[in-house]
């Protein structure tokens, strides 16, 4: 084989490897979205059971001051549990396993919330990876008939900026 053919073959192998990694990342992203949706549904069910929403439970300070005469001054209020008995047992299937266990209500939603935070982080990492790999493959001209490099460059340069509340 002459040198030009070896270069083409090497380039093709590199593109195939990047495309394979891209497909694996996209499949993992879909799986993470499935798990994330399941966690959302479980957290919604727990909030319904406790009859709370993210905003329905008063801030700890407000509930402390309202009850200051009849109860101790220090009182911790969980925004998910609210007035629900946090020690009541509830069934939970632990994330990533096929194991069901009866655990305290507060522990169940805490586990789900931490898992949700972890999955959100992993999904954002995968989304960034997919953008970078798509851009890299597009730069080599492989996706030219599907997605132009200009469009992919715009997608890769998009950033998530946190919302900053203006203070009056």
For CA atoms 104, 105, 111, 112, the dihedral sign is positive
109-119 pLDDT, tens digit each: 888 889 899 99
In this prediction, residue 74 carries a pLDDT of 46
Q: Answer whether 30's CB lies under 8 Å from 52's CB.
A: no
21-44 pLDDT, tens digit each: 988 999 999 999 998 998 888 888
**Alpha carbon 165 to chain centroid, angstroms:** 23
In this prediction, residue 33 carries a pLDDT of 92
83-110 pLDDT, tens digit each: 677 778 888 887 677 888 888 888 888 8
């Amino acid at each position: 084989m002459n040198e030009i053919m070896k270069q083409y073959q090497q380039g093709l192998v590199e593109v195939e490897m990047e495309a394979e990694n891209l497909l694996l990342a996209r499949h993992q992203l879909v799986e993470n979205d499935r798990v994330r949706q399941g966690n959302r549904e479980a957290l919604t069910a727990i909030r319904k059971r406790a009859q709370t929403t993210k905003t329905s439970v008063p801030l700890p300070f407000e509930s402390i001051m309202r009850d200051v005469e009849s109860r101790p001054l220090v009182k911790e209020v969980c925004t998910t549990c609210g007035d629900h008995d946090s020690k009541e047992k509830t069934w939970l299937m632990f994330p990533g396993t096929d194991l069901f266990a009866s655990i305290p209500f507060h522990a169940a939603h805490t586990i789900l919330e931490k898992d949700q935070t972890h999955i959100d982080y992993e999904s954002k990492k995968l989304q960034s990876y997919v953008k970078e790999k798509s851009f890299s493959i597009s730069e080599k001209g492989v996706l030219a008939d599907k997605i132009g490099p200009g469009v992919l460059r715009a997608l890769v340069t998009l950033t998530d900026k946190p919302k900053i509340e203006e203070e009056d």
